[in-house]
Amino acid sequence: MDVQKHPWLYDYSGYGASTGKPSELNTYADIEAVYECLQTKYGVSQEDLILYGQSVGSGPTLHLAAKLPRLRGVVLHSGILSGLRVVCHVKCTLCFDIYKNVNKIRKVKCPTLVIHGTEDDVVNWKHGNGLWKLAKDPYEPLWIKGGGHCNLELYPDYIRHLCRFIYDMETITTKTLLTKIKPTLKLPKKSKSNTGTSCQCTNTCSCYCCIKIRLPKCPKARCPKFPSCFQPSCCLLNWKCRCCCPDLKLPNCPACLKCGCFKFYDLLKRGAVLEEKNLTALAGGPSIV
């Protein structure tokens, strides 16, 4: 059997041949297990799937459809807005409500076909009409005049309209489908660097262009006795002022060999040597040129 072209049916927990206890959460787990089986065991991708949910089954269908943005399509047959809305006409969603399709259908990004009977005495036609209006990508709905809750398959319009929907979904290419849903996806924004320019990094880049690299600043030398005299004009060009204290010590700066502080330190040492020799010459020693 070709899995790609045949419908897959399953029983909810506690129904049919399935064991377990029927509950809302278990129905969600059931449909997720079926999808995982199709994906891992048979290699079926979400782009090749059309989910079909009838009545209460619209709850698990929309639960899974809201998580799969690249689905081929969704069919809601006599679907419900929520469990509580079937019993009483409320406009707000309460915390104890079940199958809150009114919220989940807003997250479905694929084409959605809604089929409902106008004379449905179990789930009012307003449920189907409300789901169709809330769908992001609504397909042309099918309102079967005189149709009830469990007899829509007997109407010729049902088969005709459903076949047309399946054909239209088969002709939609993956590229066209992605183009349609791309504006609805929340893509991450490009980060900006400290300079205010947009980062132009690609996936192959490690984003180094977004990092502003700065060399560490070399600490300044201090003159403990004469803090205001440590100027180039005083200590480098005119050493006769004798303003720099003899116990002047420059801080160690082993990590900034390129910042020029060691060159500056060499100039100070040369100036100190020249000054010493000039003083010796003035005292009667040999002159130094």
Domains delineated in the chain: 45-184 (3.40.50.1820), 198-289 (no CATH)
pLDDT of residue 152: 97
Neighbours of 286 (CB within 10 A): 7
Q: What is the pLDDT of residues 38-76, one digit of tens each?
A: 999 999 999 999 999 999 999 999 999 999 999 999 999
| Residue 112 burial class via C-beta count within 10 angstroms: exposed 0-12, middle 13-18, buried 19 and up | buried
* pLDDT at residue 179, as a whole number: 73
- Provide CB contacts within 8 A for 173, sequence distance 6+: none
pLDDT of residue 277: 54
Report pLDDT for 64: 98
Q: What is the pLDDT of residue 252?
A: 54
Q: Which residues are catalytic?
A: 55, 120, 149
What was the pLDDT predicted at 42?
92
H/E stretch holding 143 reads strand 142-144
Q: What is the pLDDT, as a whole number, of residue 275?
A: 52
Q: State both tokens at 196.
A: 């205010």
pLDDT given at position 190: 57
**Segment 201-223, tens digit of pLDDT:** 444 444 444 444 455 565 555 54
Nearest to 66 by CA among 120, 17, 102: 102
Q: What is the pLDDT of residue 2?
A: 57
H-helix segments, the chain: 24-40, 58-65, 83-87, 101-104, 125-134, 156-171, 174-181, 232, 261-282
Q: What is the DSSP letter of 172?
A: S
Tens-level pLDDT at each residue, the chain (289 residues): 455 668 899 999 999 889 999 999 999 999 999 999 999 999 999 999 999 999 999 999 999 999 999 999 999 999 999 999 999 988 888 999 999 999 999 999 999 999 999 999 999 999 999 999 999 999 999 999 999 999 999 999 999 999 999 999 988 876 676 676 666 666 666 555 444 444 444 444 444 444 444 555 655 555 455 444 444 444 444 444 444 444 445 455 555 444 444 444 454 455 555 555 554 554 454 433 3
pTM for the full model? 0.61
pLDDT tens for each residue of 175-187: 676 676 666 666 6
